[in-house]
Amino acid sequence: MTELLTAAQMRAVEHSAIESGAVTGLELMERAGQGVVDAIFAQWPEFVGSADVERGPAPAPPRYLRPEEGRTRRAVVLCGPGNNGGDGFVVARLLREAGWAVEVFLYGDAEALPPDARVNYERWAEVGAVQRLCFPKPSEDDEEKVSHLLRGATTDVTLCVDALFGTGLTRPLFGLKDFFDACYLAYAANLGDDGPYVVAVDLPSGLCADSGRIIGDDLGLAVGAHLTVTFAFAKHGHVLSSGGVSAARLVTVPLGIDRSLPYRVLHHKRNENGTLYIDHSTTVKMAERQWFEAGYVSDLPWTSKDPREASHKYSHGHALILSGGVGKGGAARMAARGALRIGAGAVTVGCPPSALIENAAQLNAVMLRRVPGADALSEVLTDKRINALCLGPGLGTGAREADLVRAALTAGRGLVLDADALTLLSQDADLFALLHNKCVLTPHGGEFARLFPGIAEKLDAPALTGPAYSKVDAARAAAQQAGCTVLFKGPDTVIADPSGRCSVNAAVYDRSAPWLATAGAGDVLAGFITGLMARGFAPMHAAEVGAWLHVECARAFGPGLIAEDLPEALPGVLRDLEK
């Protein structure tokens, strides 16, 4: 499990480390710069040893070096007015020591640099030149100079280091537009062989560290990077919103302050009596493979080796998925298949009588019941073995369906509400008021906006200052308002419960799976979560594990995926987890 920090939490960790006397700010900056250079050489091993190329007997020229470029690699480092810029001066110095030709630009006022950045500015100035860019408004000449360096086939710059802004960006960037465009073009075109490669120090400049949104939104600018190197912990902004797509890869390098200290700083607060208590709401966890391997695999139902575990199918729970009328049953059937594959002992689809034949023709292991309306549902639910329900996929939004949602909400079972059920909830405040802590809501952006218009308005308002309102803030507020678990979908799926517990299931960087955005994928996810709740998972846990497995299934299958493939990919994913 990875912990994602806000900028303020990262500052608290840093200050606490410095105050404890364990390390100085200058040492941290040196470690940060060294970490960036190490990450660059790890990412592009062909860069290592450029100094040797100049000195030694001729080894085979690296693939990316065109003969006319000569033997020295050229890097451009853009330093900003704060400590991110300070990291940039360290990177420049270390690259130079490794034999690179380095050009440094300062977008800021040298006299106003914070103390550690100032020291590293001076250290660089002893060995190299600093070209000043007018601050805060770069001149046309400045714009032309820096953007030209990166543009087109003529550039001989291999590396562009973006050390303009990190966690301290609070206002939109208006200057250096051409530079930002040039970075983005280099990144988007992914100029594999010739570069220039763009490396962002801590965060692609222009992004808000807490929300991943571009400060200024439509008016704002952000760097696109081949590699982002951040320090100690990933920040919320690395995975949320534009943050997840502004860089191809994210590497977190340790600073030596990330072990015992942050736990104390982050999780323990003092209440009014002065006693320490643990606050789980301050950090957000990011779901990742190691988390599941280390912590969760032993909880997963399929892996239990406990002989005391009962082997009767109903001891593995019974999920009921309600479907819509004739021709509308596909979504519920896919959810049902997902629930069964993920481990529910039994799964039943409940449908109106007119749809029985259609469903019977399509279902085998999944059972089928007539559920004409709310009374019939209440009758079905007298079977106490049915412990988890799913309403919404292909359900419809008429009076029958509203009554079904009401009956389901009053049944007190685990309940996943998706799609049409979310529309019904958004239209009827009385229904919304029936939500309880065994419910999970799984809205995509549009459904979220209908359900939580006030929260969505805050999230959609332009991010003119940092820290901006984030998807994490929005999901937490929604969970509070609804009184249940909310899973807010997207490549940056955020899951929150009313206690403030929150996690992000990010399908970004090397875990990206854009092909998961396919019709019906959400229905399968609703089924996964329902199946896990049938197996006895608490709502938040079911939503976290369901969302994680959903992305793993998409990744295991790969491009070409359609929603029906997701449940079928699950056995392979579970087998891999067991290994």
Ligand X SMILES: NC(=O)C1=CN([C@@H]2O[C@H](COP(=O)(O)OP(=O)(O)OC[C@H]3O[C@@H](n4cnc5c(N)ncnc54)[C@H](O)[C@@H]3O)[C@@H](O)[C@H]2O)[C@@H](O)CC1
**Max CA pair span of the chain:** 86
Count the alpha carbons within 13 Å of 2 in the hemisphere toward its beta carbon: 21
Q: Is 560 annotated as a binding residue?
A: no
Q: Is 518 annotated as a binding residue?
A: no
Q: How far is the CB of 185 from ligand ADP (least distance, A)?
A: 22
- Which of ligand ADP, ligand X, K ion, none does residue 489 bind (CB under 5 to 8 Å by kind)? ligand ADP
Q: Which is nearer to ligand X, 173 or 417 (CB)?
A: 173
The answer to whether 105 and 130 have CB atoms below 8 angstroms apart is yes
Q: Name the residue among 475, 500, 504 with its Cα closest to residue 492.
A: 504
Site for ligand ADP in 332-351 (CB under 6 A): none
> Considering the rule CB under 6 A, would residue 351 count as an interface residue with ligand X?
no
Task: Assess 496 for contact with ligand ADP (CB under 6 A).
Answer: no
Q: Does 201 bind K ion (CB under 5 A)?
A: yes
Q: Is residue 207 a contact residue for ligand X (CB under 6 A)?
A: no
Nearest approach, Cβ of 244 to ligand ADP (angstroms)?
A: 9
Nearest to 349 by CA among 368, 377, 370: 368
Q: Using DSSP, how many helices (H) and how many strands (E) does the chain show? A: 22, 21
Any binding-site annotation on 489? yes
Q: Does 444 bind ligand ADP (CB under 6 A)?
A: yes
Asked if 162 touches K ion (CB under 5 A), the answer is yes
- Asked if 170 is part of the footprint of ligand X (rule: CB under 6 A), the reply reads yes
Please name every residue paired with 198 in a beta bridge, in sequence order, or none if there are none.
160
Element (H, E) at 541: helix 539-557
**3-class DSSP state for residue 278?**
strand
Based on the shown chain and the rule CB under 6 A, indicate whether residue 545 belongs to the binding site for ligand ADP. no
Q: Can you tell me the distance from the alpha carbon of 201 to that of 226, in angstroms, rounded to the nearest whole number?
A: 11
Closest contact distance (angstroms) between CB of 45 and K ion is 24
Dist CA 359 CA 332 (whole Å): 10
Nearest approach, Cβ of residue 296 and ligand ADP (Å): 19
Q: Is 389 annotated as a binding residue?
A: no
- Name which position in 28, 98, 417, 570 contacts ligand X (CB under 6 A): 28
Alpha carbon distance 30, 8 (integer Å): 21
143 binds K ion (CB under 5 A): no
Site string for ligand ADP, 501-540 (x = CB under 6 A): ------x-----xx-xx-xxxxx-x---------------
Shortest approach of ligand X to residue 170 CB, angstroms?
Answer: 5
Among ligand X, K ion, ligand ADP, none, what does residue 162 contact (CB within 5–8 Å per kind)? Answer: K ion
231 binds ligand X (CB under 6 A): yes
Distance CA(339)–CA(509), nearest Å, equals: 28
Non-local (6+) Cβ contacts of 478 within 8 A are 441, 448, 451, 452, 455, 486, 488, 496
Cα–Cα distances in angstroms (integers) from residue 58 to residues 46, 48, 51, 135, in the given order: 15, 15, 12, 44
Chain residues in the site for ligand X (CB under 6 A): 10-11, 14, 28-29, 32, 80-87, 114, 136, 165-173, 201-202, 231
Residues in the annotated binding site for AMP: 489-493, 522
**Residue ranges that bind K ion, judged by CB under 5 A:** 162, 200-201, 205
